[in-house]
């Protein structure tokens, strides 16, 4: 493995890029089908986009020749060239300031905020934090988001057991079983070529996972929707953190404890392991 040159990687801090996209009704309709959205009343021009569905827009479309062996865009462009094989979306903090309307044209500005090197149980970890800001074309800030990426080496073939859930008993819960079709459709909607979501041999032989990995952003999206459902109000803030990979073949249970203005959400696997935790803040009516 290459040496991690943090002085070199630090030169990426402050890098910025801007993109513009139309929040198309067709794309929102396909997302609703992918996550089995029970209510389709918002699916119209001018309807409010549900929380975290903005992740299915502003897609990168680099030629295949410019992708890395993992299916992600090659490193060293906007993202720093961290010399660790596995890259994961670890968590983030999202503030919803104003609605994103279906049919609107929106600008997104992204900037590298921080790059940090740590030592984990399995070796080197590099965390990259990115600030994303979505604005209307009139300049109104709609969403402010900090996204955390983590880079690590391959997972050991036989990892130490992950502790069972220590989250509190939940007021509300719902269990579903992710399918390979759901993973495929979400990858397609987000134009995500990462092979951990569709290539089982790559998962086992290269990244050390026993099966296909459920997208962390997909789990976060399901938790955010569940938070709004059980509270009855729209989100103002949503902070989430991945704890363990959710693998295909496991059930996934969404849990929620909500008060008037806040909520604690978590997702557990069939073996009672927490794979994601989140904190929600709700808007005033």
- Note down pLDDT in tens along the chain; length 285 residues: 568 889 999 999 999 999 999 999 999 999 999 999 888 889 999 999 999 999 999 998 777 776 767 766 666 688 899 988 778 889 999 999 999 999 999 999 999 999 999 887 778 899 999 999 999 999 999 999 999 999 987 765 434 445 555 667 788 999 999 999 999 999 999 998 889 999 999 888 888 889 999 999 999 999 999 999 999 999 999 999 999 899 998 899 999 998 889 999 999 998 788 999 999 999 866
Please check whether residue 263 lies inside any domain of the structure: yes
Q: Is residue 229 part of a domain?
A: yes
Q: Are 42 and 102 contacting, i.e. CB atoms less than 8 angstroms apart?
A: yes
The residue range of the domain holding 150 is 6-282
CATH of the domain at 128: 3.10.129.10
Tally of domains in the chain: 1
Q: Is residue 144 domain-resident?
A: yes
Asked if the structure places residue 274 within a domain, the reply is yes
d(CA 224, CA 226): 5
262 in any annotated domain: yes
The pTM for the full model equals 0.91
Is residue 1 assigned to a domain? no
Query: Quick check: is 97 in a domain?
Result: yes
Residues 6 or more apart whose Cβ sits within 8 Å of residue 214: 178, 183, 197, 245, 246, 247, 248, 252
Q: Of all helices (H) and strands (E), which one includes residue 217? A: helix 216-231
């Amino acid at each position: 493995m290459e040496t991690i040159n943090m002085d070199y990687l630090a030169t990426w801090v402050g890098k910025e890029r801007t993109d513009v996209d139309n929040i198309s009704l067709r794309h929102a309709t396909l997302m609703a089908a992918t996550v089995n959205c029970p209510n389709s009343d918002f699916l119209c021009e001018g309807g409010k986009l549900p929380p975290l569905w903005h992740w299915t827009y502003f897609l990168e479309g680099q030629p295949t020749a410019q992708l890395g062996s993992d299916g992600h865009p090659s490193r060293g462009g906007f993202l720093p060239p961290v010399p660790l094989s596995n890259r994961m979306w670890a968590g983030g903090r999202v503030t919803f300031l104003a609605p994103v309307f279906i049919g609107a044209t929106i600008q997104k500005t992204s900037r590298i905020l921080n790059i940090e090197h740590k030592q984990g149980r399995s070796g080197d970890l590099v965390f990259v934090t990115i600030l994303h800001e979505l604005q209307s074309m009139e300049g109104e800030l709609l969403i402010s988001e900090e996204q955390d990426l983590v880079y690590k080496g391959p997972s050991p073939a036989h990892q130490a057991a992950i502790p069972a859930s220590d989250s509190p008993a939940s007021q509300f819960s719902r269990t579903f079983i992710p399918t390979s079709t759901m993973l495929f459709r979400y990858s397609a909607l987000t134009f995500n070529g990462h092979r951990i979501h569709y290539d089982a041999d790559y998962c086992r032989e290269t990244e050390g996972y026993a099966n296909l990995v459920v997208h962390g952003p997909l789990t976060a999206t399901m938790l955010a929707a569940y938070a709004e459902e059980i509270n009855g109000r729209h989100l103002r803030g949503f902070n989430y953190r991945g704890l363990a990979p959710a693998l295909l073949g496991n059930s996934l249970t969404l849990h929620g404890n909500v008060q008037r203005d806040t909520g604690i959400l978590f997702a557990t696997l069939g073996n009672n392991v927490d794979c994601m935790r989140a904190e929600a803040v709700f808007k005033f009516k």
